[in-house]
Amino acid sequence: MSGLTGKIIARSLGQVGSTLAFLILVIAVVEVLLYLILGKALKHRYTLPYMLIAPAAIGLALLVIYPIGYEIRLAFSNMSLRSFKNPEFGLDQAWRNFRMIFTQPVLKQAMFFPLFLRTILWTVIQVTSHVVFGMCLALLLHRPMKLRGVYQALIIVPWAIPQVIAVLTWRNEFHFEYGFINIMLTRIGLNAVSWKTNPFWNFAAVNLTNIWLGVPFMMVIILGGLQSISKSYYEAAEIDGASGWMRFHSVTLPLLQPVLTPAIILGTIWTFNLFNVPFLINQYELETSDILVTALFRAAFEYNRYGFAAAFALVIFVILFVFSVAYIKLTGGLKGVYER
Amino acid sequence: MKKVVVVLVLIMAAAMVIGGGQGETTAEGPVTITLWTKEGEADNALQWVYDLAEGFNQINSNQQVEVVKPGDVEALREDFQTASLAGTAPDLLWTVNDHAGPFTAADLIQPVDGLFDLSKYVDAALAAVKLDGRTWGVPINNGNHLMLLYNKDLVPQAPADTEEMFRVAQRLTTADRYGLVWNQTEPFWMVPWLGGFGGSVFASDGVTPTLNTKAMRDTLQFLYDMKYKYKIVPKESDYNGADSLFKEGKAAMIINGDWSLGAYKEIFGDKLGVARIPKVSSTGKWPAPYTSGVFFMVPKEVSGAKLDVVKAFVNFVTNEENQVQMVRSLNRLPALKVALDETIVKNDPFLKGSADQMVVGTPMPTVLEMRCNWDSMKPEMQAVLNDTKSPADAAAAMQRAAEACVKTLE
């Protein structure tokens, strides 16, 4: 076995070293230029802050702005395998790409709108389940009981496991012959389920996995919110004769809102864009389990429709952008930030 | 502020020192090429690749090969395309023949006609990487085809036709054993039967999909019957599931490729039977699995000293000694003509069975349109096997999807 020999380590370090050296060199040059231009020539009062921000700004420009710019440029091209090295760019190509998204199959057979609706369904199922189950667990744990810390730790485990590992483990558990779930089902006299090939059950498997993964996060957030609610509100409600449901409805829920609102908006965006779970659980690439982002990945890297996929990515970006702006406007989520 | 300038100048000097020396090693030292291989660890093939590279590196101090394994076969294709775009492609590929289609379409590899003496390789293997009159790969092994493998403890004699196969398999199917297993998720396992029903995925021009045909409908009906009428296969079975069932003795027969021979031979020894996939009783035709092989492909930009290392390594791997070694350790059919005459190849019952299956095989198309066919057949085959679509509807949907896909290639 060709293992990790000293030679390989030395060469790897050498490669990292040269990259590091290049980065240091570029930053040093920029810093010197900033110092000479802003500090010496212009005598700018913010020379030092600019010099301090410069490395991060360069890093962001390289890692975020350049790829986005490249992506937008690609959306204006007909890049595919046949035009891999010499794609044509132009408005007509962009128009063709955007038109294709809405008029032709995005994947082999799935059209954009059914995929979009499925993505919404997926997001609604997930966020609702996360909040409902997370709330139930948080309420159960937010009371004096023995071994509360142990229960909390156990429930948080799914969140603590690296997502890809957890998902791949679940995928194996959905195996028809050897999976834990089917073995349990057959032991209690039920039929084994085709989790990987049946469209309905595959979508169910994807959902079950992500519910398992997502509930602990929501539970932790809600539990934190619950712990911050002063007991005096409940005491006052009790004196007024409020029932358990009324206390929950009129005290707990409104006071949890500052915590729940950002958790839900973030959860929605994360779920809408979640790639690992739908992609990995859907091992046999059933189009009936694809959502927009997995379809986007397949269009780009399995079907090599690069220009088309870039335009498709822009459409998904616009959808999320509109959602975020609308949600922020409606809930005033960023009010606190602007008012500072 | 002078201190700041001094510090910055010192940093720049340090960076130059760290960054220096890098270029010198490449100018003076050995020329190293990077090889990406599709081989996996399941049948020890990846280990064999590592051993070959190590052997080559030991006898060539100025020419070195570094092996990289970038995930599975599909990951290799995707990563190679992306790396080529970024200008960081490897110097040599060790991959399957159907990658020649996308790689030539994207102009990422170079023809090997002038680089190697191709006359020493088996013609059938070379045919699998010929496109537009040029050869795009050097064969490492020949075959890569499906065949029937059976456990002789359960099936003493291979069934001659599908009627017999169903009879035998039904008799052997019990609560904890299946008569037959195969990878029900990949159309690669369906294609042999399509040939047995007289069909082909392309028209005579080799690029127009012909999936909505009577042969395809009959094939899908046949697979459906295998599952729901004769009930000899698992309800759901992927590659690993089928493989495990057979290895554990929970399946009497399996349809699998020549790459699995080594592992099965190790488990079953003489009790492993290798034969052709049974003749289709209703047509009297042999199923025709796709034959191809594993190939070296040379990326477009490789030239000069690196190309010399590539040539030396390819010739080293495909020399007679290493080809015979491959037969011994991996049970794969060699691509080198002289190696085919070796006693070990001629007398090995497993390889004989494998070679016999190859006779009725058909070369796997390498054109880019084949990708559309694979992608279109896969979900529809699964839908039929899930009883969510009729064979007629599935065949029609395959054709529509393939035609739409071919359009997007333009």
Q: In whole angstroms, give the CA distance from residue B317 to residue A337.
A: 65
Q: In whole angstroms, give the CA distance from residue B197 to residue B343.
A: 36
Given CB atoms, is B61 within the 8 Å cutoff of chain A? no
Question: Phi, psi (5° rounding) for residue B210?
Answer: -130, 75
Predicted pLDDT of residue B24:
39
Q: Do B224 and B100 sit in the same domain of this protein? A: no
ipTM for the predicted complex: 0.73
Q: Do B282 and B304 sit in the same domain of this protein? A: no
Using alpha carbons, select from B377, B182, B339, B157 the residue that is nearest to residue B260. Answer: B182
Whether B269 contacts B350, CB under 8 Å: no
CA-to-CA separations, B190 to A87, B197, B217, B239, B281, in angstroms, rounded: 36, 11, 12, 13, 17
Predicted pLDDT of residue B48:
92
Judge whether A107 lies within some domain.
no
Predicted pLDDT of residue A207:
97
Predicted pLDDT of residue A20:
86
Predicted pLDDT of residue B215:
97
Interface of B with A in 201-240 (CB under 8 A): 234-238
A324 vs chain B: nearest CA distance in angstroms?
32
Q: Would the CB atoms of B408 and A308 count as touching at under 8 Å?
A: yes
Judge whether A176 lies within some domain.
yes
Q: Do B41 and B138 sit in the same domain of this protein? A: yes
Judge whether B61 lies within some domain.
yes
Q: Do A69 and A218 sit in the same domain of this protein? A: no
Q: Do A158 and A44 sit in the same domain of this protein? A: no
pTM, two decimals, is 0.78
Task: Give the number of other CB atoms < 10 A from CB of residue A268.
Answer: 18
Q: Do B268 and B386 sit in the same domain of this protein? A: yes
Q: In whole angstroms, give the CA distance from residue B257 to residue B189.
A: 10
* E-strand stretches of B277-318: 290-299
Judge whether A271 lies within some domain.
yes
Using alpha carbons, select from A313, A319, A280 the residue that is nearest to residue A299. Answer: A313
Q: In whole angstroms, give the CA distance from residue B245 to residue B264.
A: 12
Pairing mode of beta strands B178-181, B251-257: parallel
Judge whether B21 lies within some domain.
no
Whether B111 contacts B135, CB under 8 Å: yes
Q: Which residues constitute the domain of residue A70?
A: 6-75
Given CB atoms, is A203 within the 8 Å cutoff of chain B? no
Q: Which residues constitute the domain of residue B71?
A: 31-143+291-362
Q: Which of A50, A75, A100 is where one domain is finished?
A: A75
Judge whether B25 lies within some domain.
no
CATH number, residue A165: 1.10.3720.10
3-state class (DSSP) for residue B146: strand
Judge whether B181 lies within some domain.
yes
- In terms of DSSP H, where are the helices of B29-138? 45-59, 73-86, 100-105, 123-127
Predicted pLDDT of residue A337:
56
Q: Do A47 and A193 sit in the same domain of this protein? A: no
Q: In whole angstroms, give the CA distance from residue B179 to residue B268.
A: 17
Q: Do B126 and B115 sit in the same domain of this protein? A: yes
Q: Do A176 and A54 sit in the same domain of this protein? A: no
Predicted pLDDT of residue A17:
83
Predicted pLDDT of residue A81:
83
Instruction: Pick A14's closest partner by Cβ from B22, B245, B401.
Output: B22
Q: Do A117 and A257 sit in the same domain of this protein? A: yes
Q: Do A157 and A269 sit in the same domain of this protein? A: yes
Predicted pLDDT of residue B26:
46
Judge whether B2 lies within some domain.
no
Using alpha carbons, select from A322, A314, A320 the residue that is nearest to residue A68. Answer: A314
Residues of chain A with C-beta less than 8 angstroms from the C-beta of B108: 84
Judge whether A255 lies within some domain.
yes
Q: Do A296 and A175 sit in the same domain of this protein? A: yes
Q: Do A129 and A69 sit in the same domain of this protein? A: no
Predicted pLDDT of residue B25:
44
Judge whether B26 lies within some domain.
no
> In Å, how far from its chain's centre is CA B295?
9
A8 vs chain B: nearest CA distance in angstroms?
10
Q: How many domains does chain A have?
A: 2
Bridge partners of B151, per DSSP, are B272
Interface of B with A in 169-188 (CB under 8 A): 184-185
Bridge partners of B36, per DSSP, are B68, B93
Q: In whole angstroms, give the CA distance from residue A85 to residue B87.
A: 11
> In Å, how far from its chain's centre is CA B386?
26
Judge whether A162 lies within some domain.
yes
Predicted pLDDT of residue B329:
84
Instruction: Pick B19's closest partner by Cβ from A1, A22, A175.
Output: A22
B307 vs chain A: nearest CA distance in angstroms?
22
Q: Do B301 and B393 sit in the same domain of this protein? A: no
Judge whether A56 lies within some domain.
yes
Q: In whole angstroms, give the CA distance from residue A321 to residue B384.
A: 40
Q: In whole angstroms, give the CA distance from residue A264 to residue B40.
A: 43
Q: Do B225 and B78 sit in the same domain of this protein? A: no
Which tokens belong to B216? 């395809």
Question: Phi, psi (5° rounding) for residue B406?
Answer: -60, -40
Whether B46 contacts B259, CB under 8 Å: no
**Pseudo-torsion of CA B141, B146, B148, B152, nearest 10°?**
40
Task: Give the number of other CB atoms < 10 A from CB of residue A81.
Answer: 22
Residues of chain B with C-beta less than 8 angstroms from the C-beta of A286: 379, 382
Residue B192 CB burial class (10 angstroms; 0-12, 13-18, ≥19): buried
Q: Do B164 and B99 sit in the same domain of this protein? A: no
Q: How many domains does chain B have?
A: 2
3-state class (DSSP) for residue B18: helix
Q: Do B187 and B306 sit in the same domain of this protein? A: no
Residues of chain B with C-beta less than 8 angstroms from the C-beta of A80: 408-409
Query: Dmax over Cα atoms in chain A, in whole Å?
Result: 84
Q: Do A64 and A120 sit in the same domain of this protein? A: no
Residues of chain B with C-beta less than 8 angstroms from the C-beta of A17: 18-19, 22
Q: Do B272 and B399 sit in the same domain of this protein? A: yes
pLDDT tens series, chain A, 340 aa: 445 677 667 777 777 888 888 888 998 999 999 999 988 888 888 889 999 999 999 888 889 999 999 999 999 999 988 888 888 999 999 999 999 999 988 887 889 999 999 999 999 999 999 999 999 999 999 888 888 888 888 888 888 889 999 999 999 999 888 899 999 999 999 988 989 888 899 999 999 999 999 999 999 999 999 998 888 988 898 888 888 888 888 888 888 888 888 888 889 888 998 999 999 999 888 888 999 999 999 888 888 889 999 999 999 999 988 987 887 787 665 565 555 4
Q: Do B235 and B375 sit in the same domain of this protein? A: yes
Judge whether A82 lies within some domain.
no
What stretches in chain B show pLDDT beneath 70? 1-28
List, in order, residues 6 or more apart from B312 with CB less than 8 Å away.
B56, B60, B63
Q: Do A256 and A134 sit in the same domain of this protein? A: yes
Judge whether B202 lies within some domain.
yes
Q: Do A64 and A144 sit in the same domain of this protein? A: no
Using alpha carbons, select from B323, B387, B41, B407 the residue that is nearest to residue B184. Answer: B387
CA-to-CA separations, B3 to A26, A32, B6, B9, in angstroms, rounded: 19, 12, 5, 10
User: Between A and B, how many residue pairs show a Cβ–Cβ distance under 8 A?
Assistant: 140
Using alpha carbons, select from B287, B241, B248 the residue that is nearest to residue B264. Answer: B248
Interface of A with B in 283-312 (CB under 8 A): 283-287, 301-305, 308
Bridge partners of B209, per DSSP, are B202
Q: Would the CB atoms of A25 and B15 count as touching at under 8 Å?
A: yes
Bridge partners of B161, per DSSP, are B279
Q: Do B295 and B331 sit in the same domain of this protein? A: yes
CATH number, residue B283: 3.40.190.10
Cα dihedral across residues B306, B307, B308, B311: positive or negative: positive
Task: Give the number of other CB atoms < 10 A from CB of residue A159.
Answer: 17
Given CB atoms, is B55 within the 8 Å cutoff of chain A? no
Using alpha carbons, select from A307, A317, A297, A319 the residue that is nearest to residue A96. Answer: A307
Question: Phi, psi (5° rounding) for residue A53?
Answer: -80, -25
Bridge partners of B68, per DSSP, are B36
pLDDT in tens, B285-334: 999 999 888 999 999 999 999 999 999 999 999 999 999 999 888 888 89
Question: Phi, psi (5° rounding) for residue B241?
Answer: -65, -50
Predicted pLDDT of residue A336:
57
Q: Do A291 and A154 sit in the same domain of this protein? A: yes
Interface of A with B in 212-271 (CB under 8 A): none
Judge whether A99 lies within some domain.
no
Q: Would the CB atoms of A39 and B1 count as touching at under 8 Å?
A: yes
Judge whether B320 lies within some domain.
yes
Q: Which residue of A304, A306, A312 to mutate against B (max B Cβ within 10 Å)? A: A304
DSSP state of B341: T
Q: Which amino acid, residue B347?
A: N
